Structure 1
């Protein structure tokens, strides 16, 4: 006979192999009629066991406190009494959670003989409270036939056991089998008691190749240590298997541990889980002919943490103990997710008490997953970043849902942040807090105005952009419901009366995650939107703290802000400018979850890469000691050389020096053309409200092939060949105008009317202030420069200490000779004569 369980008052049950099967009894085991004054007996007879015969006969336990236990089991023995009559022998079992005020029938048990037999157990784990009672009753129709009851035991379960001794399945075809623990699905498996089957008791399960034994039900109170006895069938060898768990009702299965190889005798395979949530298991045969499994035991989850933090040490899987600092969280756990290399992905049902994501942390709820937070959930923010959330599954937050955003105060007009709300229901008071001195407004395209919001009670509209003037640095909180799924922006507009700014609208990322702008516009697809331009303009700060505009056109982006080159991924809570193409149009932007993602914008590997096609790109920078601006020339197979939808207009940033190209009278920050080829000339616009020294630099020159870049300085009647990394230095005064430069693309080796000068040669010319400008490479620093008159008089001598040297020669006209070490240059001091 299989390991018989003995009921002993106040002690647990022990199986022959030493596994603790049942923990402490919640009440003493009912073994007799007398001596149990706390029980309520009605019409109960007998002395050594309870006899229930007449109508209304019942026995009821005292009230029990179930709140401290996660798994509770009811066991008892029964026999027929007075004869065999199924109706009158039937024992009805009921449960009350309100001290007997109301009852729920949980089932019936029917003894079949006058010998006491253990009835099938009841799992009482779903009942809770401090006033739980269990009642046994019979119909008592004849007053002479009924049932006898003995050894009533209600215990906390420490180990759950399925021994496969009951139930029947004689063929390998897939079928469900009812067992004491629940329904199991056996595929390519039988329940057998042959002499070749390895077993502990009456039966075991025999599997053949690809066989599966799976629970059709969930163990709702989790699992601690799981043990499965296994062996090769008969004299066979070579069988192996693996244990898998499902955390979503059998929707998906995950391997637990490594492949297990069978031996010749039954041996336990032990798996340490300590998982507190809903779980089910299955055994899957991997190799070999036939094998046996027996005695499937599940220990109680030994540790449910009050609080635990995500470490991501093993993987992104929520249910792995190794990914947590203090164990997998349970329904009463407070959870913290920090900034680690691997962030969690939820693809199972999860319930926690509270959840906080530290700044820059990320959480994904996959389509198969669900997250329930019975308390508060917060996405935190600091100067280093803001946490992000992508929800493709189900999210329920019973408490407060909050997204924080760190905003720093600015100086004067530089204190404006372009923001949007990542939650529905947030109020303007999240920015207009107390006596902070902050301001909040938005842009009205029709009136070309920035109306201010005066009160803290105005609801912020998802998808709309706002401007916040921050006087007090701090973390600002957006409370509401996390935006997820479809979101439609307010209608955009293009009003003719708006003049040069018509069509510009301030919109915002509506999600607490990154938004893919190209997915919104369909850029590069046959479904690309034509009612709005594919360009976005983002107001940001540069390294010196000055407000500037970064621009992205669907392919290329500038890099004026401190976050580096912008791309198609728009940060959470970021507002940005878009432009409607046609007057009178009122388009909307439609956002959905397919456009969302997490991004680590501090990682250069996540920056936008050049497409696989050989697009041509030239990036130009205008530099001073305190500022930087950028203009981009690039190609697209659908673009024209004139102004079209692929071009991006320059948004003026105020008094900073600016660089742009000019096409059809439009100032462009990104000038998109069909091809950069020899003979193409592009007007470069340069604007500065201050005089001084400037540097024009080629930072990128991609896929130009045998084409040279030639910069023409109309002010000096000079040309300069530039390659990637080369710079052109020049002096500028405000009165000189903006049409000074032109860029020409020439076939390599071509010579213009002026002599071609290699970029690494020293250059000498006269600036607008009448000074000689001598440009040298760093390798010539420390050299001596001498300036001679044409009749041999030494006019000037000095050491070269900087790449650019200025020499004053007042009142001179005609030719002079510049000597640099042993090289000589003849130069007219009113023009630009070049080669040493």
Structure 2
């Protein structure tokens, strides 16, 4: 830079430090830069884009710069900035004005000294992060640190000055060391506060009946909860830091989002409430400062049955969850109610002393001899803020129990993990390696036995995993990993996880199965119509079908011999061809009646969708209503779903002869004999009796024959099999 007659040159320190003319194209300067007083005018008049003082380096101003950083300078201090303004002989007053944004990073120091008085003025934003220091010293005659009306001091580190005038705003949890203070500004939203000492003691306060002052929802400031009656929050709390000085409870579905620290005084309990209708969550980006006996209590409603659970606190023993194994209520030496997963099988946790690990998932039973009775239960401790997930199962490790319904690949590489936080975990934000982009959770409220919810790009679920919730993932390679998750980067309280959503950018064919006599026994599968995918497993879109419980009417598609709960297939609204996908049904009750229903709420475009029952030789228009059938446990893969964008080109008409059933669909004749017919003539004729298609086939009892027909003109035709008129066909 050209500083009068002085030129500063060098490399490897400050990026985009511009005073007058840049030294070179890289705008790089030496490790220690001294800017002499002859640069005063340039400093005052020139806008710096970005000035970074790197760790271990020093930037020294020896002149009297009256303005630093007008018009958008960002000054970032990792190392040291020294300003020794003023003139020793003249003993003149020095003025140092921060006009844009200055950030003092952890370990950084900004030292301002003068031979007599100095004025430090904030017109922009000064951020002193935790571990950073701004030292204005205690010069002869005293110094003034002034925050003007538009100025903001975000202080989570230390500010040292002899006097402070605050006409702007101070927010944060840091410390101020001043002899005197004045001004009409605010500290953490509180007017006329004390401005010496810890800011964590300053903020709106709950006195048992009201706030002083009243914080708005979304306030970025400290909130103290203290004194009087127990505090119950009826709204979300979004704050810079939270200091809880008396027991406090968040109502279910009301959340706390803290950008910095959570502080609990001695003996204080912060309860995140829950009910049958929902639960509260807590997220914070800083550290916990808990007094003796202080804790966070996260409540969760646990219906009876099996649950997949995980610890959101820094617990190390299974007793965190309740009565484990032999220590269950009414338990005995044979009680087994809580299990981990070792990559191939479940492992019993014998009692409350069994070790548990943050980020690992567990299966536990709620009910008689369970680790808890049904109802709302508290889980207390200090919340986890950063967790490295346990080692995952490599893809060549086979499960000894059935995890998925079909396919050899589905038996390998399964790991059971858990959300380690008191807020929801956003699965999509995790750093995955050798992991399928799908996860699976168990919903104990589905039916009488519970059921899995499969979450993937083509499915219905969100990527948020609830607190205390465990989940399955499947590996694709030898080194699977989810890395380290932090509450600040991977947690969210934006919404409570909701496993059904209707926002679509593509068509989802959702088919729901239900037992007619017991409508609570139900399941669903999703077929997403996304071009350039495959019928088999597409990572990022598809999810495998987990093994359903005994009473569940399991429904899923078959793609490349793999059972899929969510299946994206290569089809869309602009396609003129038809598309078919095999559909399987799995239930334990022979002869029981079940229904399959098309849920149109997830569609964007218009399609004709038919369900083919290969066992009965029938087609059913799913848009006309439910398809009801009697279950045959020996015929799981009995259905096919047929798609056509818009309307079908032919009506479906059926007829039954004494010895066979036959029908036509999409230029294919389907023939299903009830007896052995042997070699038979198959003929299509127009209404004048002229043969337009003729072939023959060996027709055997209970075997279906698919015979491709030629492209025919629109009209009415007759299909004959073995000389019998079986069905009239209308082609459009």
Bin the TM-score by the shorter chain: 0.5 to 0.7
2:429 matches 1:519: yes
2:338 matches 1:441: yes
Aligned to 1:469: 365
How far apart are the structure 1 equivalents of 2:530 and 2:119? Answer: 61
Aligned to 1:681: 580
How far apart are the structure 1 equivalents of 2:278 and 2:532? Answer: 37
How far the C-alpha of 1:248 sits from its partner, in A, is 4.6
Aligned to 2:508: 617
2:403 matches 1:505: no
What do residues 694-750 of structure 1 show as CA deviations (whole Å, max 9, x unaligned)? 322111375664642222222343323334xx4233231436622332111124344
Question: Match of 1:641, SS?
Answer: coil
2:332 matches 1:422: no
What do residues 760-819 of structure 1 show as CA deviations (whole Å, max 9, x unaligned)? xxxx999xxx9xxxxxxxxxxxxxxxxxxxxxxxxxxxxxxxxxxxxxxxxxxxxxxxxx
How far apart are the structure 1 equivalents of 2:250 and 2:270? Answer: 6
Aligned to 1:748: 646
Alpha-carbon distance change, 591 to 308 in structure 1, aligned in 2, over 3 angstroms: farther
| 8 Å contact kept, 1:336–1:358 | no
How far apart are the structure 2 equivalents of 1:444 and 1:436? Answer: 24
Aligned to 1:235: none
Task: Select which of 563, 584, 589 maps to 1:667.
Answer: 563
Alpha-carbon distance change, 719 to 437 in structure 1, aligned in 2, over 3 angstroms: same
Aligned to 2:546: 651
How far the C-alpha of 1:832 sits from its partner, in A, is 9.6
How far apart are the structure 2 equivalents of 1:461 and 1:388? Answer: 21
Question: Match of 1:734, SS?
Answer: coil
How far apart are the structure 2 equivalents of 1:303 and 1:378? Answer: 17
How far apart are the structure 2 equivalents of 1:608 and 1:699? Answer: 13
The equivalences for 1:416-815 within 5 A come to: 416-433=306-323, 436-437=329-330, 439-448=336-345, 450-471=346-367, 472-498=373-399, 501-520=411-430, 529=432, 531-542=434-445, 544-557=447-460, 566-582=461-477, 585-592=479-486, 593-601=488-496, 608=501, 610=503, 614-625=505-516, 626=519, 627-636=521-530, 639-645=533-539, 646-655=541-550, 656-676=552-572, 677=575, 678-690=577-589, 691-700=591-600, 705=605, 707-723=607-623, 726-734=624-632, 737-752=635-650, 754-755=652-653
How far the C-alpha of 1:601 sits from its partner, in A, is 3.4
| 8 Å contact kept, 2:399–2:412 | yes
Aligned to 1:154: none
How far apart are the structure 2 equivalents of 1:740 and 1:570? Answer: 34
How far apart are the structure 2 equivalents of 1:624 and 1:213? Answer: 63
| 8 Å contact kept, 1:713–1:742 | yes
How far the C-alpha of 1:578 sits from its partner, in A, is 1.1
How far apart are the structure 1 equivalents of 2:515 and 2:727? Answer: 23
Aligned length: 490
| 8 Å contact kept, 2:578–2:642 | yes
Aligned to 2:84: none
For structure 1, which segment, 588-597 or 373-382, has the greater mean C-alpha deviation from structure 2 after superposition? 373-382
Aligned to 1:821: none
Alpha-carbon distance change, 727 to 184 in structure 1, aligned in 2, over 3 angstroms: farther
How far apart are the structure 2 equivalents of 1:211 and 1:357? Answer: 34
Task: Select which of 276, 285, 290 maps to 1:392.
Answer: 285
Q: Which protein is bigger by CA-based radius of gyration?
A: 1
Question: Match of 2:600, SS?
Answer: strand
How far the C-alpha of 1:461 sits from its partner, in A, is 0.5
| 8 Å contact kept, 1:538–1:576 | yes
How far apart are the structure 1 equivalents of 2:650 and 2:593? Answer: 27
Alpha-carbon distance change, 427 to 309 in structure 1, aligned in 2, over 3 angstroms: farther
How far the C-alpha of 1:387 sits from its partner, in A, is 2.6
Question: Match of 1:442, SS?
Answer: strand
How far the C-alpha of 1:430 sits from its partner, in A, is 2.7
How far the C-alpha of 1:466 sits from its partner, in A, is 0.8
How far apart are the structure 2 equivalents of 1:742 and 1:591? Answer: 42
Alpha-carbon distance change, 187 to 648 in structure 1, aligned in 2, over 3 angstroms: closer
Alpha-carbon distance change, 588 to 687 in structure 1, aligned in 2, over 3 angstroms: same
| 8 Å contact kept, 1:661–1:671 | yes
5+ long unaligned stretches in structure 1: 1-167, 189-204, 221-227, 229-240, 252-259, 261-267, 282-299, 522-528, 558-565, 757-763, 771-829
How far apart are the structure 2 equivalents of 1:482 and 1:249? Answer: 22
How far the C-alpha of 1:249 sits from its partner, in A, is 5.5
How far the C-alpha of 1:683 sits from its partner, in A, is 0.8
| 8 Å contact kept, 1:446–1:495 | no
What do residues 144-176 of structure 1 show as CA deviations (whole Å, max 9, x unaligned)? xxxxxxxxxxxxxxxxxxxxxxxx998987499
How far apart are the structure 1 equivalents of 2:238 and 2:251? Answer: 13
Task: Select which of 205, 215, 218 maps to 1:316.
Answer: 218
| 8 Å contact kept, 1:380–1:386 | yes
Question: Match of 1:518, SS?
Answer: helix
How far apart are the structure 1 equivalents of 2:473 and 2:601? Answer: 28
Alpha-carbon distance change, 249 to 700 in structure 1, aligned in 2, over 3 angstroms: same
Question: Match of 2:360, SS?
Answer: coil
Task: Select which of 325, 334, 352 maps to 2:245.
Answer: 352
How far apart are the structure 2 equivalents of 1:624 and 1:491? Answer: 37
Alpha-carbon distance change, 458 to 306 in structure 1, aligned in 2, over 3 angstroms: farther
Task: Select which of 269, 275, 293 maps to 1:377.
Answer: 269
How far the C-alpha of 1:455 sits from its partner, in A, is 2.0
What do residues 434-455 of structure 1 show as CA deviations (whole Å, max 9, x unaligned)? 552475433434442x222112
RMSD after superposition = 4.9
- Alignment TM-score, normalising by the size of structure 1: 0.50
| 8 Å contact kept, 1:424–1:480 | yes
How far apart are the structure 2 equivalents of 1:391 and 1:215? Answer: 17
What do residues 306-345 of structure 1 show as CA deviations (whole Å, max 9, x unaligned)? 656779873232758xxx9xxx546x788735242x3232
| 8 Å contact kept, 2:193–2:202 | no
Aligned to 1:783: none
